Amino acid sequence: MDWKRFDSLRSNAGPIEVDLVEAYAQNRINRRDFVKRGTIVGLSAPFMGAVIAACGGGSDDASGGGNSSSDNAANTDTDNDTAATSSTPGGNLIVGNQFGDANSGLDPVAMLDLGTYNIISQSFEYLVGLGADGNVSDNALATSWSPNGDGSVWTFNLRTDATWRDGSQMTSADVAATMDRMVEFGNSGLAGVIETGSVDSSDPAKAVITLVEPNGNFPVLVSIFNPQSCITPVDYSSGTTLDARDEGTGAWMLDDFDASTFVAKFVPNPGWWGGAPVLDSLELRGFADVGTAVTAMQSRSIDVIQNFSVIGGEGLLDDSAFNVLTPPSSNHRQLWFNVQEGGFTNNLARQALGWCLDREQMVSTLFSGRAEIANDHPILSTLPFFDADATPQRTRDIEKAKSLLAEAGIDEINGTFSCGDLGEVPQLAAIIQQNAAEAGINLEVDVQANSTFYGDAWCPAGGEGNTPCPGSGEVGAVDYGHRPIPDIFLSSALSSGGVWNSSNYASAEFDGLLSDYRKAPDVAGQKAAIGSIQKLMHVDQPALYPYFFNFLAGHDESVSGVQATALGHIVTSKASKA
């Protein structure tokens, strides 16, 4: 341990950064978590490298600093083709893309689905970008960021070479207007995090954002992992769609969009700050179901597939000329209960269904093992603040399920299970139907077109107060894409009045624990709050979480320079075709 160098580094950091540095030096977090967390709070790569060196290296195991053996500081297994192996100019790249939601259209604030996320991100960019390791990075509209002492104010230094279509510079005024629109619409996971007028835009090259309460993870909430937070122009009114007004600072300009086929065509943006793409054009071709997209990929009528499932995707997995991309993933299916109406208003009935689930069958049958069994909360076990001791792993126990129903005075439940026709979800619904029947929970499965499912069964419009999703199905499955931290899963989907809270769950205790987690400046404080949330979820059980699964995307071997996220983004700004 080089204490002189370590103390010098520590003296130049703020309180949040110092706590993280000390946690690493004291072996309370490992090197990989140090790099991930350090990137989130704004530590530079040289600074983190210097800390690792001062501590004698680092490792990827449970240890942190000290005298562990060293290896590459920022390496993770993403299987992403981030660097082009060929710079061959020209050509048209065709990406098979999920058919988007018919209700929201190409609205960057109102969008809800992976297909629309992908289209919007070709033209619009985020304050915080995507690194080669699948973590957040300073390669987007903010070149650096830092918090004040308690994480209640964050300063983002903006790049000065990002311009809009008319050549005008992107400034902090655009950031301020974007944040205000997100607060007004309430669809970006920032409810309770910022308020209207939170951004000080007095310096055009600097956005200073004051939060409602301290939040040590705020940069992730304005990153590519919070899709609705893409930066739009100061005069971009709410409800405007990309096809109605072609705009953006990104690498591609929308040339044409057909809503009936969900096909978007792009041409390079010659004024992009990162250098114009080498491809002549880009086409994102809509597919209503994954099976058809897989067939198109196998026949090579498309070059890239945004996402595919293990079920039906075996041919791609066995194709030696197909490159599989497996970005970091916390993707899962939330099984929500409408706690206000229907057959699952009693929390014991909701717990009972949890004890019916055969999670091992799901992981084996649906994913051939490419998934991780979850424990009915949305906290991934690899996160540094996950509390492994909070709750025992729930397993299949039909007698336990029957006893809970008896305790609730329920002889049987007859209800409808709603879901979209996305990926493995219909097969998941069939397994749940079969699992539940043994305990006297009889579910009729209603599989709907994914393009209308979100607005009809998952979260119908018109909500207010503690009923944000009036008339949502009594029980069903909905898809949640990857986030590096669970803030969106907790705030938007479970907090009182959360915009995606299809359970219509309202709990002052949960809201308080969520606030404690957000405000915690260190991993220990976050773990204390998250552990309590894990316990509360097993009691109230507004939703079930049977598994987290690997996200699969990929492309033909002739394509290079493509990167994917488990939220459906296909980053093509540096792509080329041999």
pLDDT digits (tens, 9 = 90+) for 102-137: 788 999 999 989 999 999 999 999 999 999 989 999
Residue of higher predicted confidence among 394 and 62:
394
Same domain, yes or no, for 205 and 296?
A: no
Q: How far apart are CA 200 and CA 229, in angstroms?
A: 17
Q: Please say whether the beta carbons of 204 and 171 come within 8 A.
A: yes
Same domain, yes or no, for 348 and 468?
A: yes
HSE-up (13 A, CA, CB side) for residue 336: 28
- pLDDT of 284 higher than 80: yes
**pLDDT score for 297:** 98
Which DSSP string corresponds to 52-84?
HHHTT---SSS--STTPPP--TT--------S-
Same domain, yes or no, for 210 and 197?
A: yes
**pLDDT score for 87:** 57
For 175-234, how does the pLDDT look when each residue is reduced to its tens digit (9 = 90+)?
999 999 999 988 778 888 999 999 999 999 999 999 999 999 999 999 999 999 999 999
pTM of the predicted structure, to 2 decimals = 0.85
Same domain, yes or no, for 435 and 570?
A: no
The strand pair at 263-268 and 252-258 is best described as antiparallel
pLDDT above 70 covers a percentage of the chain that reads 95
Q: Please say whether the beta carbons of 199 and 172 come within 8 A.
A: yes
DSSP secondary structure code for residue 99 in this structure: P
What's the maximum distance between 2 C-alpha atoms anywhere in the chain? 70
Q: Is residue 237 part of a domain?
A: no
For 432-451, how does the pLDDT look when each residue is reduced to its tens digit (9 = 90+)?
999 999 999 999 999 999 88
- pLDDT of 330 higher than 80: yes
Per the prediction, the chain carries an average pLDDT of 92
- Give the total number of structural domains in the chain: 4
Q: Please say whether the beta carbons of 471 and 460 come within 8 A.
A: yes
Q: CA nearest 496: which of 516, 519, 514?
A: 514
**pLDDT score for 80:** 60
For 439-494, how does the pLDDT look when each residue is reduced to its tens digit (9 = 90+)?
999 999 999 998 889 999 999 989 999 999 999 999 999 999 999 999 999 999 99
Same domain, yes or no, for 457 and 486?
A: yes
**pLDDT score for 540:** 98
Other C-beta atoms lying within 10 Å of the C-beta of residue 7: 10
Same domain, yes or no, for 357 and 457?
A: yes
Q: What is the CATH number of the domain that holds 527?
A: 3.10.105.10
The strand pair at 570-571 and 563-564 is best described as antiparallel
Q: Is residue 131 part of a domain?
A: no
Q: Is residue 437 part of a domain?
A: yes
Please report the sign of the dihedral spanned by the C-alpha atoms of residue 39, residue 45, residue 49, residue 50.
Answer: negative
Same domain, yes or no, for 500 and 399?
A: yes
Same domain, yes or no, for 49 and 103?
A: no
Same domain, yes or no, for 347 and 410?
A: yes
**pLDDT score for 81:** 59
The least confident of 303-312, 519-528, 561-570 is: 519-528
Give me 480's structure tokens: 């949640």
Distance of alpha carbon 23 from the chain centroid: 26
- pLDDT of 41 higher than 80: yes
For 42-94, how does the pLDDT look when each residue is reduced to its tens digit (9 = 90+)?
998 899 999 999 898 754 444 444 333 223 232 233 446 544 444 578 999 99
Number of residues assigned to the chain: 578
Q: Is residue 428 part of a domain?
A: yes
The alpha carbon torsion through 247, 248, 249, 252 (nearest 10 deg) reads: -90
**pLDDT score for 320:** 96
Domain that holds residue 479: 332-549
Other C-beta atoms lying within 10 Å of the C-beta of residue 316: 18
User: H-helix or E-strand containing 348?
Assistant: helix 347-356
Same domain, yes or no, for 221 and 348?
A: no
Same domain, yes or no, for 202 and 322?
A: no
- pLDDT of 530 higher than 90: yes
Q: What is the CATH number of the domain that holds 314?
A: 3.40.190.10
Same domain, yes or no, for 517 and 562?
A: no
- pLDDT of 382 higher than 80: yes
